[in-house]
Structure 1
């Protein structure tokens, strides 16, 4: 009965067997369907129709409850997709993907898992990847961790096989932070594997999309994994879609036997630009985020406010992709900031231009003309940080445009008078040539080459090297042959420099040679013979006519020139016999018969050396004489008699002679060319040797001059440093001396005034005491005391001794004036004297009576004088026996007082160190 049931099941249609409740029947139905699909001739076979009309059958097959049946159902699905084509994929995709990732990818059987993954890859291969990714992303929110891990593994395999050019990475990147936060470690491990696979394709461009949402620990772990794949070569697409396979199959087979399609596909893959953050990011509207007072702040007179405004704007523009908007006024503000006197403002403005150009890409092209010239002009700034910021901004501007749009403006700044602007513009042009993907047109090539050639004559080495690098990079783009005309006229040293840059240059744009139709080989070979053998070109080639006719035309021309000399040839002799005689004499001399052509070559070489010049044929017979030379020359002068000889021998001899003559002429021409080449190389070698020696001498002289100049500069610098040090020391000393002198002057003036007052008071007191000793007071009434501070009174001095004469009086006055000043608190004035002076001391009374009179002491200094003797004695009323002093005594006394005052001033200066030596 079981056998009958099996037979009945095998007779059921495949759709019925797919929906049968017995898992064995379903399993056998899946196997039968897979075999039937393999036997179909094409996609339109009737075997696919039931499953195309009812694709829900595959949903049950992919998610069969029985593990064994599910394995066969997934295998049948793979066969259906493989042989059913695009229509099978589009019809069944919406029904099968969910059971595939829910039950197939997480199956316990390896074969079922492999079939499920193959089915997903086939869906992408047959149609598009976007619907497949959209169906797989909901699986990342599944409740079962094993389903999420299996789906992440499948997505990793998708990118590994097809790459990011076929499968859009943006939706997956946005979903990565969610799976990184999953509690299951297997899910997190698969998320790391997927991220590393995406990093192999996207590198750093993937980070702006999701990197900020990860934890620092997760970022560190990923960075460690990224380090392992950074050094790996760029990944390639391992599995082609059906459209790519069809494109490759449609390519013709190349002449070398390899498929041209493979080469073209590889080239297209190489030419595709790398995916960056701009392609993965969504455009952000930054125009609405610009502060309302930005333009007011950027026009402020304070550089700090201008910089703060640009810093705030930079934070707004620092986004991978910017939505287009009316940025004209903003670019005008940037252009104005390029002329700012503060370099910090210029640097931040350049950074803002860079971010705006990177965010807009092609949308920035319309703003290029308003910002490019101010940035190039600002290259005059010598600070490297400013130049770097401007260079990065210009690179971003160039990336948004093309070489043709930027070339004219860039070449204009190569003629700038500022060398720093020239140097930075050259660097910018070189970067443009390296990064451009468009080959410059012929006029543009000429403009670039001419501008770079002018730079080779600059006085600065950096500018000359920059010009050579421009030419070398341009040669890398257009090729050596196309660059040849622009290098004509340059010396070998400059060409070698350009060659060095050509070898090291890396460019993205290379001119592809146009495919020319292959020329016919026979025609090209004949053309080469005609061009290579110029002496024989006047005669018909052997390929164009028989050998007999080849040799016939040249002799009449030579004979026509030889006819004016009758003694050289006899018209009566037969030419064949002469040829035979001339040709058989050498073999008869013992030479081998195989070398019969070589004697003829030696015999006929004199007249053949000037075959192009017909006049040179006449002297050749005279060189060999009348007998033998005439016989040798007759075939050349009388070819018309050749038919009279036997027809077999002369044609062979004439044919060999023509071939030998052509060969001889070719060898001689080759020898002349080699000789000329050797001479030119020898002269060039001698010239180069002389130039090398001259350059070596110049180099040695320059090195010597440079060394001498360096030593002189160092000596001058040393002297300058010493002089500056001495100057500083002297200046400090002068300042200190000036201050000390001022202080001394103030002190001297103060001490001088005090000392002069004291001296005047002392002298006044001394004179008063002298007058008292002179007899005004009686010794019984007044007693004088010493001025040395002694408290005991001294012996009274008799006043009569003071009136003995002028000499004793003067000596006593000098003694009294030289005595020290009395101590403070001691008053030697008597009460009677106070009564006579109205209660005042005599000195005060004398001052009131006789005020001081200023006198010039020769030096212009005025000093108060003491009262004279006349006034003093006149004031002393009631004196006994008063006398009038003589005038000469007054002058003597004044001179003595003056000298004493000077001596005291000098002593005071000596004590304070003011005396000049």
Structure 2
């Protein structure tokens, strides 16, 4: 036995990993773990055979022996941990299926734990999406225990990495089907997964699946959500890329509080939901119904639109006609129609978000104008719709319409518009520009003296909210001239206001100013020339690092290049605009040093002051330098500010053009798709038309054949009738008209002639067998004539009458027989003929 073990250990590690004996395979996996742990880096030779043949790991995780399988999964974890990203990408597609089917559902706890760890390592080394995509198909497995094990693994993934690293949308789509599974373990694991997702997503996840659950399941989940609604989950593990970024941030000295500040980010249902195309669901006669003269039809059509548009996310498309009809409904005389139209605008703006921006100009004005309505229900619906429209745009886009409506002649419109402005200032995340600040402040200040108390309060609240965004110092110019009562009111609203706008980093620039001013005092105290020259160099180089705007340092060298030089500045006292081109205050300070040093140079003042010329010139040059430099600084700053404004306008124009170009490209693509759809519909219509024509031709052919068959059957029926008549006539003597027989004696000739005429008249009505009838009549006539001759010769009237009676009875009997054969017995009795 010992010799066999020695022989096995001498085999290569890969050969032992696929050996037929499970003990050999188990020892091979243990040896592989040791090699991976002592490997120097990811490119070590011990990883090569496993990377070249990833199928080895598939066999390891699905080993038939549970002990060998446990070591195989452990070896896989070590391989992934030390092998790096290449180990993950080469083996991921080969091992996940085996891990789920035989690892997660194993009877050994260690195997389950290591299998889950292997999945977490596969995510850590790359991203989570490929792993989740391969796990989701197992949620439809035929074995409930596989489904439950997969759900447990997915729950562990979200616990480790969180819903920010792992996309929850594919998992949320599977929850309704999982909650309807027949196995209780599957439903229990689904509940655990849902609770874990709720910790990260909160209420935003409910629209994705909640309505598909049973009321009992909803109540159970609500009770579970109530326990964890205040939980603040944190990711237990980070991806390798996140670990590297964190290490780099720590090396750069970035404070972790900045990262923590972004943690409590609220997940929006808009990001989780799938876009819904409501164009396909709106009734075809929607526009016709909205324009109906009956208010009930208009309201019903808008109700149908709201039902389809009230979804978390709407697919972008062409809704121009719908938006125009909703804007028109703002002028409707019926308040119920206005309310539903406002709800529809709110739903569409919420579902489209930024895609609704192009419709803002169509609906904002009519909605603000409709604020004149006195019913609070209508005002509330319009306010919600306006807030949704603002959320899809920005304060800059809406401010013009708002300011215009604050001057409306209707006081209710002015009041509700100011309230809308206050809500915009609270929710905007962008600090208004200086022109916008002035516009808002001037509008609010003008309304502080309004005759209506609610309007004055709204104006004060608007200024207080603006002060919260800008700060007290920035609002001082707009507060001048106000009395103490109004200032106190504005300050109260300032203290209680809550805003989301972040202040610009401009206030950070002033602190470096004292550092630049300090060298001026030191240099001014030194009479020598060497000291100031040494200090001037760092003073000129420091400002570019301290100043926030980067454009100023670039503009300075180009102007300084035109200066005549330091020596020229000492001699020439009037350089003009080109001689003192300081683009920043700090550079102006450095140039003042040069003006202080050459004080003894000016000759005219030396003659007037005598021996004290050194001091007098030095004192006079110091104040003269700012007078010569400051105007140029102001000019440069004004020019720089103008260029910045022009640049911002140009960038804004470029962004508008780019957005318009994207919109046009989007519309062009949609038109092309629509054209393709129309061509396909036209082709289908043509094919359907041809099929209908073929069916019509076949139907006509079948109708003609049926008509021919009917004609043929009619002919056959006529033929059978004639055959029936011939058979009846052949089996009975010719009928005799009873009306022609004399009642009181008649001679033999008259009776025979009457019987002959009767037979001939009956034969003439027959269409076929005329000759046979004539032949029978001819054959019977001689017998009758001979019989009548015999009777006439005898002259016995009594015998003749008796004979006639017999003939009559026979005829009646035959007539009855004929009626029975032809089915005419119900029409009458023989006496009726």
Normalising by structure 1, report the TM-score: 0.54
**What secondary structure sits across from 1:250 in the alignment?**
helix
CA contact (8 A) 2:61 2:95 kept: yes
Matched, 1:126 2:125: yes
Matched, 1:243 2:233: no
The CA distance in 2 between the partners of 1:11 and 1:517, in whole Å, is 73
Question: How far off its partner does 1:7 sit?
Answer: 4.2
Deviations 1:554-608 (A, max 9, x none): xxxxxxxxxxxxxxxxxxxxxxxxxxxxxxxxxxxxxxxxxxxxxxxxxxxxxxx
Closer, same or farther: CA 539–152 of 1 in aligned 2, 3 Å: closer
List runs of 5+ in structure 1 lacking aligned partners. Answer: 531-536, 546-639, 641-917
| Counterpart among 254, 259, 262 of residue 260 in structure 1 | 254
List runs of 5+ in structure 2 lacking aligned partners. Answer: 531-611, 613-833
Write the mapping of 1:201-212 to structure 2, written as runs, cut at 5 A.
Answer: 201-212=200-211
- Alignment correspondent of 1:587: none
The CA distance in 2 between the partners of 1:460 and 1:544, in whole Å, is 70
Question: How far off its partner does 1:233 sit?
Answer: 4.2
The CA distance in 2 between the partners of 1:514 and 1:71, in whole Å, is 61
Matched, 1:417 2:401: no
- Alignment correspondent of 1:453: 445
CA contact (8 A) 1:423 1:463 kept: yes
The CA distance in 2 between the partners of 1:543 and 1:119, in whole Å, is 75
- Alignment correspondent of 1:469: 461
- Alignment correspondent of 1:279: 271
- Alignment correspondent of 2:153: 154
The CA distance in 2 between the partners of 1:39 and 1:98, in whole Å, is 29
Question: How far off its partner does 1:224 sit?
Answer: 1.8
Closer, same or farther: CA 416–538 of 1 in aligned 2, 3 Å: farther
- Alignment correspondent of 1:51: 50
Name whichever structure is richer in helix by fraction.
2
- Alignment correspondent of 1:379: 371
- Alignment correspondent of 1:314: 306
Closer, same or farther: CA 70–437 of 1 in aligned 2, 3 Å: farther
Write the mapping of 1:32-181 to structure 2, written as runs, cut at 5 A.
Answer: 32-181=31-180
The CA distance in 1 between the partners of 2:10 and 2:469, in whole Å, is 70
CA contact (8 A) 1:478 1:510 kept: no
CA contact (8 A) 1:248 1:262 kept: no
Question: How far off its partner does 1:152 sit?
Answer: 0.9
Question: How far off its partner does 1:8 sit?
Answer: 4.1
The CA distance in 1 between the partners of 2:83 and 2:358, in whole Å, is 50
Write the mapping of 1:869-880 to structure 2, written as runs, cut at 5 A.
Answer: none
**What secondary structure sits across from 2:64 in the alignment?**
coil
The CA distance in 1 between the partners of 2:233 and 2:472, in whole Å, is 32
Question: How far off its partner does 1:351 sit?
Answer: 0.8
- Alignment correspondent of 2:717: none
| Counterpart among 325, 345, 351 of residue 359 in structure 1 | 351
Q: Pairwise CA RMSD of aligned residues? A: 3.2
Question: How far off its partner does 1:540 sit?
Answer: 5.0
Question: How far off its partner does 1:60 sit?
Answer: 1.8
Closer, same or farther: CA 43–411 of 1 in aligned 2, 3 Å: farther
The CA distance in 2 between the partners of 1:119 and 1:23, in whole Å, is 22
Normalising by structure 2, report the TM-score: 0.59
The CA distance in 2 between the partners of 1:200 and 1:467, in whole Å, is 41
Q: Which has the larger radius of gyration?
A: 1
Matched, 1:340 2:332: yes
Question: How far off its partner does 1:61 sit?
Answer: 1.9
Closer, same or farther: CA 359–11 of 1 in aligned 2, 3 Å: same
Closer, same or farther: CA 130–95 of 1 in aligned 2, 3 Å: same
CA contact (8 A) 1:477 1:509 kept: yes
Closer, same or farther: CA 49–275 of 1 in aligned 2, 3 Å: farther
The CA distance in 1 between the partners of 2:475 and 2:415, in whole Å, is 23
Question: How far off its partner does 1:525 sit?
Answer: 9.2
The CA distance in 2 between the partners of 1:347 and 1:211, in whole Å, is 28
The CA distance in 1 between the partners of 2:64 and 2:528, in whole Å, is 86
CA contact (8 A) 1:63 1:70 kept: yes
Closer, same or farther: CA 439–40 of 1 in aligned 2, 3 Å: farther
The CA distance in 2 between the partners of 1:112 and 1:481, in whole Å, is 66
CA contact (8 A) 1:299 1:306 kept: yes
Write the mapping of 1:832-851 to structure 2, written as runs, cut at 5 A.
Answer: none
Closer, same or farther: CA 214–287 of 1 in aligned 2, 3 Å: same
**What secondary structure sits across from 2:314 in the alignment?**
coil
CA contact (8 A) 1:477 1:511 kept: yes
The CA distance in 2 between the partners of 1:503 and 1:34, in whole Å, is 64
- Alignment correspondent of 1:370: 362
| Counterpart among 498, 506, 509 of residue 506 in structure 1 | 498
CA contact (8 A) 2:431 2:504 kept: no
| Counterpart among 322, 341, 352 of residue 349 in structure 1 | 341
- Alignment correspondent of 1:329: 321
The CA distance in 2 between the partners of 1:202 and 1:363, in whole Å, is 24
Closer, same or farther: CA 515–340 of 1 in aligned 2, 3 Å: closer
Matched, 1:223 2:222: yes
The CA distance in 2 between the partners of 1:453 and 1:527, in whole Å, is 45
Question: How far off its partner does 1:374 sit?
Answer: 0.4
- Number of aligned positions between the proteins: 532
Write the mapping of 1:488-637 to structure 2, written as runs, cut at 5 A.
Answer: 488-513=480-505, 523=515, 526=518
The CA distance in 2 between the partners of 1:449 and 1:32, in whole Å, is 77
CA contact (8 A) 1:107 1:113 kept: yes
| Counterpart among 420, 424, 427 of residue 435 in structure 1 | 427
Question: How far off its partner does 1:473 sit?
Answer: 2.9
The CA distance in 2 between the partners of 1:141 and 1:219, in whole Å, is 23
- Alignment correspondent of 2:29: 30
Question: How far off its partner does 1:406 sit?
Answer: 1.6
